[in-house]
């Protein structure tokens, strides 16, 4: 893959990859770092990239692996020498279309925040599957390829996550 093709790939999928990074990290600065590292890795491996393949899934897989490695390193370091982390406010940007009234916009914002907070409370494995399926629009075979797990496992995690979300959101919404 040439530099020009890689640049086109970044222009085409960059926004989706960044929003996925934001959902994973729940922090703008960490998302920026993850996004940058994802494309740095893609630049390093650009000779291996197949422009006819599913590049978005490949890039999401890179982001996922980098994020998992960072979490693993943080957990290991925290076991050795616990560190209190600075509590920052979460970035809760919600993309809302044009609504008729301010009241409708407020209600939609609040519902989106509630759903987002419930999704964030899901266990990591389920949360990632939900984000890839609903946010990125990947199919279960594509998610299985990104996460390198069987397709049945992806379906099971989605089912369990939907069940848990339904139970949590039943009272709220």
What pLDDT digit, counting tens, does each position of 31-60 carry?
999 999 999 998 888 888 777 778 888 899
Distance in angstroms (rounded) separating the CA atoms of residues 147 and 152: 12
What's the CATH fold of domain 98-173? Arc Repressor Mutant, subunit A (1.10.10)
Of 37, 35, 31, the closest CA to residue 14 belongs to 35
| 3-class DSSP assignment, residue 121 | coil
Mean pLDDT along residues 9-18: 90
CB proximity list for 47: less than 8 A, separation 6 or greater: 1
Q: What is the pLDDT of residues 124-164, one digit of tens each?
A: 889 999 888 988 888 999 999 888 999 999 999 999 999 99
What ranges do the domains of the chain cover? 1-84, 98-173
Helix and strand totals (H; E) in the chain: 7, 0
CATH class of 1-84: mainly alpha
| Average pLDDT of the residues of the chain | 82
Same CATH fold assignment for domains 1-84 and 98-173: no
Token digits of residue 171: 């009272």
The reported pTM is 0.66
Would you list the DSSP string of 71-114?
HHHHHHHHHHS--PPPP------------SSHHHHHHHHHHHHH
């Amino acid at each position: 893959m040439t530099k020009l093709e890689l640049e086109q790939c970044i222009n085409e999928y960059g926004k989706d990859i960044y929003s996925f990074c934001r959902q994973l990290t729940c922090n703008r600065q960490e998302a920026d770092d993850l996004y940058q590292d994802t494309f740095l890795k893609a630049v390093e491996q650009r000779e291996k990239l197949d422009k006819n393949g599913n590049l978005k899934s490949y890039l999401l897989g890179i982001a996922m692996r980098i994020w998992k490695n960072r979490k693993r390193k943080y957990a290991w370091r925290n076991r050795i020498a616990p560190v209190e982390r600075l509590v920052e406010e979460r970035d809760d940007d919600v993309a809302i279309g044009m609504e008729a009234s301010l009241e409708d916009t407020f209600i939609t914002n609040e519902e989106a925040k509630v759903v987002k907070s419930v999704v964030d409370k899901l266990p990591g494995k389920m949360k990632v599957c939900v984000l890839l399926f609903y946010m990125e629009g990947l199919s279960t075979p594509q998610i299985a390829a990104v996460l390198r797990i069987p397709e049945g496992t992806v379906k099971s995690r989605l089912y369990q996550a939907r069940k848990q979300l339904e139970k949590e959101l039943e009272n709220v919404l």
